[in-house]
Amino acid sequence: MEFKTLIEKVKNIPYGRNSNRLDFSLVLSENKGTCSSKHAFLKDFADKNNIQNIKLYIGIFKMNEQNTAKIAPLLSENKINYIPEAHCYLKINNQPIDATTTDSFYEKIKNEIIEEIEIIPNQVSEFKVKYHKNFLKKWILETNQSHTFEEIWQIREQCITRLAE
């Protein structure tokens, strides 16, 4: 299968968490995936098929009511302007490609990205979560948030649930 065709196929697979975060091949068999599993699957495919200039990234962006409208009520009721959220995407020849959904979410968040790092596919599970949590803990201190880390993480989980609906 041509890589561009595979990207289009993955874009059309519904958004949802897979039963095992460590097995991104489940994107096809379970017919669902998150930004992490979908992009790790694509990067892994590219690596195994010697497709060059494909890089996998985690970008930490300001998840707010402008770029993620469904979460506006949750942010508002918790008096939070934004929550730093981790999003995975590819760069092909340095051009961002977001196969999370048919609409590129990257286009909505590109101006809100605070930090990005290149990773390898198996880092989309434990490493990504740890990286994200450490970023949040630092952000809470630096911005004098009125919520604890546990509260912010809980609000974030509610946001993710709302997005999957």
Count of domains for the chain: 1
Supply 81's token pair: 């302007």
pLDDT for 160 equals 84
pTM of the model: 0.91
Low-confidence ranges of the chain (pLDDT < 50): none
pLDDT for 73 equals 94
pLDDT for 16 equals 85
- Measured CA to CA, the distance from residue 125 to residue 147 in angstroms comes to 25
pLDDT for 89 equals 96
94: domain range? 3-164
Tens of pLDDT, residue by residue over 75-91, are 999 999 999 999 999 99
